[in-house]
């Protein structure tokens, strides 16, 4: 790889740093815009890596598709001026080669590439024998196997430094987010790959700048390793993703406002208090399991009556009544409608399975 010693050293120091902050424009537009954005994000003193999209995968043809390889020298120049290491998205073998020729330090695989094993494999093949860190964004759709598959393809190409980026998932009819965070997906991926960094990209989750701080805070609360936030010197006039980009000044404020949490502390008082609370949780969980088991025993009895009287297992009117009662009670006790629905769906399913066994016996 044609990496200068200086940026190689900076890269090794940066990779794995917590929190790792990546920022820069959605797209490189002009030399001036790239250099000025780079200078201003670097001036915050809080950014580790400069990002810029050069080849932009767009949903519809005719939209701005990135300026292409001509922006690579701009990034090289930005690195020289600011000392920031650089990252771009690469989706084809040619893009990988072009980026490497111009000393890009880290490549990332975008959400629209992760969904396609052919493309991921093409990128993986182009990376064989090259020592460069790779970030892998989650696929557009909530499918952990595709994300996992991409990690495996890149790892099999011999890449040692892999990071994950959670940018949310596309869902039909969802209005709150551009891409729903579905935090449990990222958490599950963290459990599968505890050794890999997990970065959150709040810009693509939110799709608007006002909520970037909230989502960033949530990610940090969930022990993410860092953030990728899009910043532009003139966001409203950006050529792509104008609504979600922030100015370098706003970026600085967001990074200032985030309450940075650590996963652990050595303080014995803290551990004693935590142990006590965890014991209480364990006790309550034991009780909940006991209660659920009792509930199922009653469901079994109902199952017997239904069988004797030839009545269907599913009785929608009764079920709606249960849910409505629970929602009302949950609301008073501070439990969200979403939780109550998910919880009762699971309980209902278990109950139906119990009754079905009895009917079939």
Cβ count within 10 A of residue 272: 9
- In angstroms, the CA 303 to CA 76 distance is 71
Q: How far is the CB of 222 from ligand PEP (least distance, A)?
A: 19
Q: How far is the CB of 119 from ligand PEP (least distance, A)?
A: 12
Contact status: 26 vs Mn ion (CB under 5 A)? yes
Give the residue with the Cβ less far from ligand PEP, 79 or 137: 137
- Packing angle of the helix pair 31-43, 248-257 (nearest 10 deg): 30
Q: Could you give the C-alpha distances from 233 to 29, 35, 202, in angstroms and in order? A: 11, 10, 18
Q: How far is the CB of 51 from ligand PEP (least distance, A)?
A: 7
By a kind-dependent CB cut-off of 5 to 8 A, residue 137 interacts, out of Mn ion, ligand PEP, none, with ligand PEP
Give the residue with the Cβ less far from ligand PEP, 19 or 53: 53
Give the residue with the Cβ less far from Mn ion, 98 or 241: 241
Matching residue, tokens 């990610």: 219
164 - beta bridge partners? 136, 198
Positions in the binding site for ligand PEP (CB under 6 A): 26, 53, 110-112, 137, 167, 204
Q: Which residue is nearest to ligand PEP (CB)?
A: 110
60 burial level (CB within 10 Å; 0-12, 13-18, 19+): exposed
- In angstroms, the CA 203 to CA 229 distance is 6
Contact status: 98 vs Mn ion (CB under 5 A)? no
- In angstroms, the CA 6 to CA 356 distance is 68
By a kind-dependent CB cut-off of 5 to 8 A, residue 167 interacts, out of ligand PEP, Mn ion, none, with ligand PEP
By a kind-dependent CB cut-off of 5 to 8 A, residue 178 interacts, out of ligand PEP, Mn ion, none, with none
23 - beta bridge partners? 50, 229
Smallest Cα–Cα separation from 46: which of 8, 74, 17? Answer: 17
Among 82, 241, 303, 344, binds Mn ion (CB under 5 A): 241
Give the residue with the Cβ less far from ligand PEP, 39 or 112: 112
Total residues at interface with Mn ion (CB under 5 A): 2
Q: How far is the CB of 204 from ligand PEP (least distance, A)?
A: 4
Contact status: 29 vs Mn ion (CB under 5 A)? no
Q: Could you give the C-alpha distances from 161 to 76, 125, 157, 216, in angstroms and in order? A: 22, 16, 12, 24
With contacts defined by CB under 5 A, name the span among 237-245, 289-297, 334-342, 350-358 that binds Mn ion: 237-245
**Chain-centroid distance, C-alpha 53:** 18
Site mask, Mn ion, residues 191-230, x = CB under 5 A?
----------------------------------------
Give the residue with the Cβ less far from ligand PEP, 251 or 299: 251
Contact 117, 153 (CB under 8 A): yes
Contact 198, 183 (CB under 8 A): no
Contact 259, 220 (CB under 8 A): yes
Give the residue with the Cβ less far from Mn ion, 167 or 354: 167
By a kind-dependent CB cut-off of 5 to 8 A, residue 98 interacts, out of Mn ion, ligand PEP, none, with none
Site mask, Mn ion, residues 119-158, x = CB under 5 A?
----------------------------------------
Give the residue with the Cβ less far from ligand PEP, 171 or 283: 171
Give the residue with the Cβ less far from ligand PEP, 137 or 190: 137
Tokens at 256, concatenated = 């200032």
- Packing angle of the helix pair 31-43, 72-82 (nearest 10 deg): 30
Q: How far is the CB of 167 from ligand PEP (least distance, A)?
A: 4
* Residue ranges that bind Mn ion, judged by CB under 5 A: 26, 241
């Amino acid at each position: 790889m044609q990496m200068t010693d200086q940026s190689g050293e900076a890269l090794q120091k940066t990779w794995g740093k917590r929190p790792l902050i990546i920022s820069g424009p959605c797209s490189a537009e002009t030399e001036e815009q790239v250099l000025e954005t780079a200078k201003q994000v670097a001036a915050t003193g809080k950014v580790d890596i400069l990002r810029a999209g050069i080849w932009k995968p767009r949903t519809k043809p005719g939209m701005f598709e990135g300026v292409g390889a001509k922006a690579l020298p701009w990034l090289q120049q930005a690195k020289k001026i600011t000392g920031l290491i650089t990252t771009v998205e690469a989706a084809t073998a040619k893009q990988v080669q072009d980026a490497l020729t111009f000393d890009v330090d880290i490549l990332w695989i975008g959400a629209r590439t992760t969904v396609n094993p052919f493309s991921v494999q093409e990128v993986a093949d182009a990376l064989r024998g090259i020592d460069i860190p790779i970030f892998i964004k989650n696929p557009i759709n909530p499918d952990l196997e595709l994300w996992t598959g991409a990690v495996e393809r890149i790892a099999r190409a011999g890449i040692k430094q892999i990071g994950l980026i959670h940018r949310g998932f596309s869902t039909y009819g969802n209005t709150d987010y551009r891409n729903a965070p579905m935090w449990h997906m990222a958490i599950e991926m963290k459990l599968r790959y505890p050794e890999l960094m997990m970065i959150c990209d709040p810009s693509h989750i939110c799709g608007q700048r006002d909520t970037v701080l909230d989502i960033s805070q949530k990610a940090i609360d969930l022990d993410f390793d860092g953030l990728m936030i899009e910043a532009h010197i003139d966001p409203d006039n950006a050529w792509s993703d104008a609504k979600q980009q922030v100015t370098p000044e706003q970026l600085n404020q967001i990074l200032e406002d985030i309450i940075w949490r650590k996963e652990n502390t050595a303080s014995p008082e803290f551990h004693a208090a935590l142990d006590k609370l965890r014991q209480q949780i364990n006790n309550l969980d034991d009780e909940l399991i006991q209660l659920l088991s009792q509930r199922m025993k009653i469901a079994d009895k109902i199952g017997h009556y239904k069988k004797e009287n030839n009545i269907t297992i599913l009785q929608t009117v009764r079920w709606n009544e249960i849910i409505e009662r629970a929602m009302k009670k949950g609301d008073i006790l501070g439990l969200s409608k979403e939780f109550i629905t998910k919880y009762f769906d699971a309980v209902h399913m278990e109950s139906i399975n119990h009754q079905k066994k009895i009917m079939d016996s």
